[in-house]
Each structure stands twice: as C-alpha cells, then as structure tokens.
Structure 1
Amino acid sequence: MSFIRNILNSRSSKDGNFFLQLQNILGFKPKNKSLYRKAFTHRSMNLKDKKGNPINYERLEFVGDAMLSSIIAAYLYGQVPHGDEGYLTKMRSKVVSREHLNELGKDLKLIDFVVSRISKSSFGDNIHGNLFESLIGAIYLDRGYSYCEKFIHKNVIIPYVDIETLEGKVISYKSLLIEWCQKEKKSFDYDVYEDTGKDELKHFSVKLSIDEKVIAKGRATSKKKAEEKASKRAFFAFQKQITKPI
C-alpha cells in the first residue's frame, strides 16, 4: 500500500508543479485542468479517451489559431482606421506568422511542459508555435473570450505589435524575390535536393539561381525553410535594386 501511495503522491506533486508554473504564465487559475493537460500532450503518447478519440494538442491548436487570428484582427481594425481589407490582412499575417508564433512559444518556454515519447531535441521549431496556439485554445474553452483576449493582449499585442515596425516587416523573402524577378523579367530557379549530412533530422539544401547564375544557397529541415533561407540571402544581395523608389 505504501508503494502505491508513493506513486500517487509523486503524480500529485508533478501535477501541482505543472499547474503552479502554468498559472504564472496564464495570470489566472485554470478551471478545467484537463484542457491544459491536453494542450501539452503530443500525439506520440498515443492516448485516447473512453470514446476512442485521440488526446493531444492538435484540435486545441485549431481553436487557438482561430481565436488568435480574430482577436488580432479586431485589434488592428480599431488601431488602423485607414487600413483597407488587404492592408489589415497583410498586417495580421505578420503578427500570426509561423516564425513569430514560434518566437512567442520559445519566450514562454512552453516546450518544458510537453509530454511526449519523442525527445524534445528532435522537434522542429514549429512545436513552439503549435503549443502557443493550443494553449490559447485551452484558455478560450476554459475561460471564454475575455480571458483569451487579455492573455493575447499581454503576451502578443503589448510586447510585439507595433504598427510602424510591422509595416516594414517581411513575411516571405521568397514571395518578395519572385515578385521582383517577375517585375524585372528575370528568370529564377530553386534547385532543391535532399542533403546527405550526418544530422539526426533529414535536411534539404537549395541553390537559388537568377538569370542562370547561382546567387544564394540555403539548408534547413524542410524544403520551404531552405528556399526561404536562400531567398533571404538573395534579397540582401539585391536589396538596393528591390527596394529602390519607383
């Protein structure tokens, strides 16, 4: 009996530490604790509820994505009365970009809460943004819109949303570069190939050519990231021509 009691006490202690640390991030006490446990449960745990439905953060991530987008949209609508639909959409995209969400998740150290059968060192950068969105989803379902709005205002809008800075922020160097090449009637080509390095995770490399001349290279854990890296380097190589006044 003492052995079982020790196990239960250990679990209770871990659970208490989890919610104590989480409460410091949230700024309030959770009501439905199961939502927050689910918000940090990775699919590799292969857990299911009594009805056979999977228990992991992916569905909460979907809810959080929608809530974050709507709250940022409402904020921008109020802050930039002169902005048309296209402008507001572009500005919102900059706030909720995958890169930015990953930064937010890292700042809050959300990966420390993850329960997974996979080593944390094996996760890609997107795990940070995914967890941030799943946490927002849990907040909304647990406490409603007002708590969700306050959390986003405190952790996203106040520290990171500056209209002038956002206006000059580039979301995709690849899109910017392609747009410039098409405008200037320059040919471009992304030669992507699987890298045979010794990394644990598969890597891809890319050679970006403009007018049949290799301008930049990039290497990352996905084709998209490798292309973006090469595009960013190419952008700075041609920055004066791309950003010159019309």
Structure 2
Amino acid sequence: MSFLKKIFVKSRSQEDGFFFNEIEIILGFKPINLDCYRKAFTHRSLNKLDKNGKPISYERLEFLGDAMLSSVIAAHLFNKVPSGDEGYLTKMRSKIVSREHLNELGRDLNLIRFVESKVPTQHFGENIHGNIFEALVGAIYLDQGYPQCEKFIQKRVIEPYVDIARLEGKVISYKSLLIEWCQKEKRTFHYDVFEDNAITGERLFGVKLSIDEKVIAKARATSKKKAEEKASQRAYFAFQEKINTK
C-alpha cells in the first residue's frame, strides 16, 4: 500500500470512528451498517451515486422515517387514549409530528452538524432539522428493524415530548383555526400578501389580515405561508377570548 493511500485509509478510519461514536450516543445503541446513517445526512447537492448509479441523498430515508414516526405514534395514542375517536387521534398525531416539532427534535440533537452538502448550512431552510431527523429514523429502521426503531422513537420523541394534556391545547395552525372561526361566525376575512423586502436585500413577504374589512394584524416573513401564519397568530390573540368561548 502506498504512503498516500495509507494516510487516506487512516484518515477515513478516524472519520468513521468519530461518526460512529457520535451516532451511537444519539441512538443509544451501536449501529451495524454505518452507511445507512451516512446516507441520512447526505444532501443531494453532492450528486453522489450508489454502485447502481442511483442518486444518494437523505430524501428517501426521510420518507421512510416519516412513515415510521406516524406508525409508532399512532399505536402509542391508540393505546394511551382508548376513548379517543379517529378525528381526535389524527389531530393529536398531527401535533406530535408537526414540522415545527420535528424541527425542534432535529435542533435539540444538533443533527445538522453531520450534514454533508455543497450548500452552506446557513442557506438551508428551517425544515432541514426535521427532515434529517426523519431520515435518521428511516436509517434506524433499515439498520436495526422496527423494534429498535420503535424504541428510539419512544426514547427521543414520546417520553420527553408527548404530554397528552398539553398537546390537547396546542394549536397546529393559527390560520386554519382563525378561518374556521370566521366561517362559523359568518365573518369575512382576507389576506393581502405583498413583497416587503428588507434593507439588507433579503426577500420578504408582508401580510395584512383583515376581518370584516378591518385590518386586524400585520406580519412579514421569508415566505407567504409563514407571513400568513404569523399574522393569523396575532389575530388569534386579538380574538382569543371570543374564539375559545365558541
């Protein structure tokens, strides 16, 4: 073996050793197939291909992890809340696997430090945290199977975060809640969306939310959806007493 090849192999071995140790701490068990977990943090911008010429990225594992989370959490709620009907259980599951919550889980574990990408991490959207958390769950399923995947979700999601009483009062979407209330009370509402760029040049969107032709709330954010949700939240607090008594 050439001198340069020895250095490369040693360096790669040290890198794998560090990654193995860090992942083991997060998982709570020893990974078997480290490649599964590397794939969970591979961004498509790298344009990597497997031996069959198929693209390698975390996106397929993200899909699998989403299904595993839904399955395990659905079973937990089914057993934990025997009186809950289908609508209640669906709403509660949605709160647990909401994008906001998954992003929080990914941030808490600092998973973004493992992401390999040609795109600087500061350019990633907020949802990258939740996406790679789902991909990690998918990797666990491929590496260890359903039982170990279920244990991880119990340990990292259900035990520290799932409080039924607290979740019952948690709002998933202020916009949906506000629209439902307006329709029920026969009130007119309108979201006026416009570009509202910052001095720094960042592209932002502004929103004026009117109810019964009166501007109730304003907000701005990096996307139309976020701006509408922020304005809806402010309007909700303005009408909170009326909404919660209906």
Q: CA RMSD in A?
A: 1.3
Aligned residues of 1:44 and 1:118 also touching (Cα < 8 A): yes
Q: Deviations over 1:120-139 (max 9, x none)?
A: 11111100000010000000
Distance 2:203 2:131 in 1: 21
Distance 1:204-1:95 versus aligned 2 partners, 3 A rule: same
Q: How many residues align?
A: 245
Deviations, residues 129-167 of structure 1 (Å, cap 9, x unaligned): 000100000001110111001000000100110111111
Q: Check conservation: 1:122, 1:201, Cα contact below 8 A.
A: no
- Aligned partners of 1:193, 1:231: CA distance in 2, in Å? 16
Alignment-derived partner of residue 188 in structure 1: 189
Q: Which whole-Å CA distance do the structure 2 matches of 1:221 and 1:38 have between them? A: 29
Instruction: Give aligned-pair identity as a percent.
Output: 68
Distance in 2 separating the partners of 1:77 and 1:199: 49
CA 1:144–1:229: 2 relative to 1, 3 Å = same
**Which residue of structure 2 lines up, in the alignment, with residue 82 of structure 1?**
83
- Residue type of the partner of 1:133? E
**Structure 1 equivalent of residue 211 of structure 2:** 210
Give the distance between the partners of 1:38 and 1:179, measured in 2 at CA: 41
Distance 1:29 1:240 in 2: 51
Q: Which residue is 1:129 aligned to?
A: 130
TM-score, length-normalised on structure 1?
0.96
Structure 1 regions of 5+ residues with no counterpart? none
Partner of 2:121: 120
Shift of 1:224: 1.1
Find the aligned partners of 1:50 and 1:160 in 2 and give their Cα distance: 40
1:58 aligns with 2:33: no
Partner of 2:145: 144
Structure 1 200/124 Cα, relative in aligned 2: closer, same or farther at 3 Å?
Answer: farther
TM-score of the two chains, using structure 2 as the length reference: 0.96
- In structure 1, how many angstroms separate the alpha carbons of the residues matched to 2:219 and 2:137? 33
Q: Which moved more, 1:85-94 or 1:219-228?
A: 219-228
Q: Aligned in 2, Cα 1:47/1:10: closer, same or farther, shift over 3 Å?
A: same
* Inter-partner Cα distance in structure 1 for 2:147 and 2:94: 22
CA spacing shift, 1:199–1:39, aligned 2, 3 Å: farther
* Structure 1, 181-190 or 144-153: larger mean CA deviation: 181-190
C-alpha distance in 2, partners of 1:20/1:237? 50
